[in-house]
Structure 1
Amino acid sequence: MKYRTDIDGLRALAVVSVILFHLGFLPNGYLGVDVFFVISGYLITSIVYRESEQDKFSITHFYMRRIRRIIPLVLFITAVAFVLGLWLMLPDDFENLCQAIVASNVSANNVLMYITSSDYWAVKNDYKPLMHTWSLGIEEQFYLLYPFLFYFFKGSKVHRVKYILIGLTALSLGAFLLQDNVAAKFYFIQYRFFELAIGGLGAIMFRDALIKNYRTGRFLLYALLAMIAVILYFPIIPSNDIKVLLTTLLTVGLLIVGKEYFDKDAFYEGLMANPVARYIGMISYSLYMWHQLIFAFARYAFLDEITPEWGIALSALTFVLSIATYYGIENVFRQRRVMSTRTVLFATATAFVVTTAGAFYVYTLGGVVKDYPELGLTRADVANDRNFFSGSSNIHIRYNEQVRQLDRGFDDLSKINTLVLGNSFGRDAANILLESAVADQLEVRYFEIGRAMEDDSLAIRMQQADKIFIGAQGPLSKDWFAELEQRYNFQIDRDKIWVIGTKDFGFSNGINYNRIDATTDFTTYRTRMEEHATERNDALKAEWQDRYIDLIELLGDGRGDILVFTPEGKFLSQDTEHLTKYGAQYIAKRLDSRLARIVES
């Protein structure tokens, strides 16, 4: 099997696109991952199909090649992420990173990302150092099942594999097109299988030249390459499904046609197999593994924005480290004459146990591995406080979650019945009231808004309530109340309703944590809010007018920046969205006079 130098160039195009996407400079660059999927399916199938034809295919050898190729670098990168997280991260973020380390090590970060960060394009994912290993999860899950096709159908039976692949590809593609859950079809193998399998079908079904006429084939070759470049570099197609399908089909087409031209056509060779493109393609796996880790920690620790200048500097660092791991890890583990199978298995097993066990242990601690005075957390206070699977007892959300205990009816007629409606942001609103100077006058009750249209006890509580507070990032509109009244056939007294407004503390607390020192003036230190925060706040204020309690006006400077800490240096929010106890106390103190007037009215 002749080495395809042009595939290195295609890998280079894919990895550079992904890098530019994660720098924030190329909206469609994430499609480079789809290119990688097709290449993987094409190359793996090319190898194992020939081995199966000759009755030489071995599942043991297959998995050993995959272990040598993939696992050592994954374990090294997760170990580096762990050390950097230990040094730079706040406990909640470090806890999340440790989850990702365990998931990446067991080839399941795609599943974790689906559960915790369903929107791949969300800005907050830019701060996750291992976010990108979701694609490795899909590839490794593919490799877990794929070789059994060739094990059961080898020798004279191997031709049957293509029919099975056609059927599985059709099922996967159909599922992809019919699935409405965007996150599910982005992260799960059943909706991505067709991309790898189409690459495999291309390798099996087009082993001979597709087009005999040289000029016609050459025209098709450049047309395919041009269309791939257009899709990657120009956001002209709005539908992600269409972009994925086109990228998949064009890539396999280029692999099939390019086989006839990579060593015959000088111009194509100059484009796809020049020394620079080939070298980038050779180290593309290291580039892929390093880039997001570097960019995420840079954003987390010291960069408000990755400018073009910083993009160049961080990319240069990525290249330097990638060259080091290509020669120091990839090449070393891949070559049998350099490292024996026994040594590879021992080294990877040891690294797996150490990194996975270490990350899981820190996860059970909630990431609290030292004292964090800015959050009021000390290692001694949580010494025996274990966290498992981030339930409501998780140390970082416990303060917010405890409000759920107030989700019941009123029973103290001597106090002002106060109902808070909302979700986790409603629980923030309840904590503000509970920390306020008027708390002793109130009987605060909470209602989880998600069940409003199914639980008629809400109507009873709203009628019993003297005051109703709404708390959410997007407080409920007046139209929602009209729908609720119609649903339960009752009238809501609008004079009882107040809205505790939206809030936003930027994209990440990490940069604030790493910037402050003994000289920081916490009364003036601010961070930039997300762009939509002010617009959302203004829209809600316009709708609710004097019934709106504007937290952004209270904490902001009117120019898009907002306070991060209390005057004593305590974080107002532990995750840039929800309040710490210090945050609720500080806001309550600032609102005391207004809350007193509301209670008296």
Structure 2
Amino acid sequence: MNRLPNLDPLRFFLASIVLLFHLPQLSHNQGLPSFDGLPIYHRGVEAVYMFFILSGFLIIRLIYRAKIRGVFSIKDFYIRRVLRIFPLYYLVLIFGLFFYNVILPFANIPFDINYTWKEAFFYNVFFLPNVFAQKFEPGGIIEVLWSIGIEEQFYLVIAPLLFFINVKWVLRVLIGLMIGYFIIYWSDAFEFLRKYIFVFFYLFFGGIIAILEENKKLEFLKRTVIFPILICSFTLLYFITDWLQIEPLWARSMLTCLLFGFFIHTLAFNNRGVALKSSIFNHLGSISYGIYMYHVIVLNAVVFLFLKVDFLQNLNETLTIILMHLLIFVGTILIAHISYTYFELYFLKLKNKFRK
């Protein structure tokens, strides 16, 4: 399957926004100079939500196209997902547990551990890192895994569901699930869904957009240049201003579903031939999973340097903030590149054995 245009660079930009979200938080918590005076520094959660829509868009599109050809295999689907997600997920999980339970005590750095190893194993191995993160606040390196858990839970449901549904009913079922789950999620009776951030409606909506496109139901959007301009403009405004931060939260969720879903569709299918073909940005998109997973580790390392190295402690606030941004971005990209090239790529190549 050919890669859709613009989506790899989008992954990099979204991962970068998550990094910008966490950077000032950790700096401030450790008493270091920090800057979060621009709205984009507060859009990390929304960036993850767009990741969810993108994931639902791509995964359901893949399953739907395979069903049409009569070659969809649940086994092969899960093997490909395992090869893509698990190696890096468990590497970061093991390092995070070692970091907070062994390295920090050895370095006499206080950090409260309020969970047992059995609890850590249960929640994180059985696809519930989002629950683990909210219940125990185990530290940023581990807490960042919450979003991977949401995707894992979604995969467990969506593959068998779509396997048994007739292809003619897939769109209707997804629309019903999306609307029904959205109502349940925001009802007071199911508050625990919000507590543990089970935001599956974003993934469902991404899939709905993908199937509408596959069935040529969105062609009317391509007849005028106004729609893609408006969608891209409002999405940009959402991330760089506070104008679209509407209340209540359920209305904001509905807005982000629609806005982000149609934004992804615009980039991939309604871009009027505008495609970011930079090999650098495409590669950065390819390693975006690593950027997302490693950035908190790099954040902790850089913060530690600024706390312990005399030369860095004597810098003025502005230079400290600028240098921290540079070191964290460059360090995260470098580690993600090395991980992708010498670790993840081995497993990614194995995925080709399970494609039809």
Instruction: Quickly name the TM-score band, shorter chain normalised.
Output: 0.7 to 0.9
TM-aligned CA distance change 1:95 to 1:64, over 3 Å: same
Deviation at 1:299, TM superposition (A): 4.6
The one-letter code sitting in structure 1 at the alignment partner of 2:348 is R
Q: Which residue of 1 aligns with 2:338?
A: 324
State the distance in 1 between where 2:325 and 2:121 align. 25
Q: Does 1:205 align with 2:194?
A: no
State the distance in 1 between where 2:151 and 2:157 align. 10
Q: Does 1:139 align with 2:155?
A: no
State the distance in 2 between where 1:129 and 1:68 align. 21
Deviation at 1:163, TM superposition (A): 1.5
Q: How does 1:78-477 map to 2 (within 5 A)?
A: 78-85=93-100, 86-89=102-105, 93=112, 96=115, 103-117=123-137, 127-153=139-165, 157-179=166-188, 184-185=193-194, 187-189=196-198, 192-207=199-214, 208=216, 210-211=218-219, 216=224, 218-236=225-243, 237=245, 239=247, 240-262=249-271, 265=273, 268-270=274-276, 273-296=277-300, 298-299=302-303, 303=307, 307-336=321-350
Contiguous gaps of at least 5 residues in structure 1: 118-124, 342-601
Deviation at 1:230, TM superposition (A): 1.6
State the distance in 1 between where 2:120 and 2:302 align. 18
Q: Which deviations, in whole Å up to 9, do the C-alpha atoms of 1:198-242 show, x marking residues without a partner?
A: 0011111222272458561x3322321222222122233153444
State the distance in 2 between where 1:233 and 1:180 align. 34
Q: TM-score, normalised by structure 1?
A: 0.49
State the distance in 2 between where 1:184 and 1:300 align. 35
Give the aligned CA root-mean-square deviation in angstroms: 3.0
Deviation at 1:327, TM superposition (A): 1.4
Q: Which deviations, in whole Å up to 9, do the C-alpha atoms of 1:364-412 show, x marking residues without a partner?
A: xxxxxxxxxxxxxxxxxxxxxxxxxxxxxxxxxxxxxxxxxxxxxxxxx
- Per the alignment, in what secondary structure is the counterpart of residue 130 of structure 1? helix
Q: Which deviations, in whole Å up to 9, do the C-alpha atoms of 1:501-527 show, x marking residues without a partner?
A: xxxxxxxxxxxxxxxxxxxxxxxxxxx
Q: Is the 8 A contact 1:34 1:244 kept in 2?
A: no
Aligned residue pair count: 321
Q: Is the 8 A contact 1:51 1:57 kept in 2?
A: yes
The one-letter code sitting in structure 2 at the alignment partner of 1:318 is T
- Per the alignment, in what secondary structure is the counterpart of residue 141 of structure 2? coil
State the distance in 2 between where 1:30 and 1:200 align. 20
Q: Which deviations, in whole Å up to 9, do the C-alpha atoms of 1:468-514 show, x marking residues without a partner?
A: xxxxxxxxxxxxxxxxxxxxxxxxxxxxxxxxxxxxxxxxxxxxxxx
Q: Is the 8 A contact 1:110 1:138 kept in 2?
A: yes
Q: Which deviations, in whole Å up to 9, do the C-alpha atoms of 1:521-561 show, x marking residues without a partner?
A: xxxxxxxxxxxxxxxxxxxxxxxxxxxxxxxxxxxxxxxxx
Deviation at 1:131, TM superposition (A): 1.1
Q: Which deviations, in whole Å up to 9, do the C-alpha atoms of 1:321-373 show, x marking residues without a partner?
A: 100111122211011289x88xxxxxxxxxxxxxxxxxxxxxxxxxxxxxxxx
Q: Is the 8 A contact 1:129 1:293 kept in 2?
A: yes
- Per the alignment, in what secondary structure is the counterpart of residue 71 of structure 2? coil
Q: Is the 8 A contact 1:129 1:297 kept in 2?
A: no
State the distance in 2 between where 1:337 and 1:151 align. 20
TM-aligned CA distance change 1:28 to 1:287, over 3 Å: same
Q: Which deviations, in whole Å up to 9, do the C-alpha atoms of 1:47-101 show, x marking residues without a partner?
A: 1111112221111001001100100011111232244332224575356596557
- Per the alignment, in what secondary structure is the counterpart of residue 175 of structure 2? helix
TM-aligned CA distance change 1:200 to 1:7, over 3 Å: same
Q: Is the 8 A contact 1:5 1:278 kept in 2?
A: no
- State which drifts further: 75-84 or 18-27: 75-84
Deviation at 1:317, TM superposition (A): 1.0
Q: Is the 8 A contact 2:178 2:201 kept in 1?
A: yes
- Per the alignment, in what secondary structure is the counterpart of residue 242 of structure 2? coil
Deviation at 1:138, TM superposition (A): 0.8
Deviation at 1:12, TM superposition (A): 1.9
Q: How does 1:44-83 map to 2 (within 5 A)?
A: 44-83=59-98
- Per the alignment, in what secondary structure is the counterpart of residue 245 of structure 1? helix
Q: Is the 8 A contact 1:6 1:258 kept in 2?
A: yes
Q: Is the 8 A contact 1:231 1:243 kept in 2?
A: no
Higher relative contact order (CA closer than 8 Å, sequence separation 6+): 2
Q: Is the 8 A contact 1:29 1:232 kept in 2?
A: no
Q: Does 1:34 align with 2:49?
A: yes
State the distance in 2 between where 1:221 and 1:56 align. 34
The one-letter code sitting in structure 1 at the alignment partner of 2:9 is G
Q: Is the 8 A contact 1:97 1:130 kept in 2?
A: no
Q: Is the 8 A contact 2:11 2:288 kept in 1?
A: yes
State the distance in 2 between where 1:219 and 1:241 align. 27
Q: TM-score, normalised by structure 2?
A: 0.80
TM-aligned CA distance change 1:92 to 1:214, over 3 Å: closer
The structure where helix makes up a greater share of residues is: 2
Q: Is the 8 A contact 1:100 1:130 kept in 2?
A: no
Q: Is the 8 A contact 1:107 1:137 kept in 2?
A: yes
State the distance in 2 between where 1:300 and 1:88 align. 11
- Per the alignment, in what secondary structure is the counterpart of residue 206 of structure 1? helix
Contiguous gaps of at least 5 residues in structure 2: 25-35, 308-312
TM-aligned CA distance change 1:114 to 1:180, over 3 Å: farther
TM-aligned CA distance change 1:309 to 1:101, over 3 Å: farther
- State which drifts further: 242-251 or 47-56: 242-251
State the distance in 2 between where 1:222 and 1:277 align. 22
Q: Is the 8 A contact 1:40 1:196 kept in 2?
A: yes
Identity %: 26
TM-aligned CA distance change 1:65 to 1:295, over 3 Å: same
Deviation at 1:173, TM superposition (A): 1.0
Q: Is the 8 A contact 1:290 1:318 kept in 2?
A: yes
TM-aligned CA distance change 1:246 to 1:39, over 3 Å: same
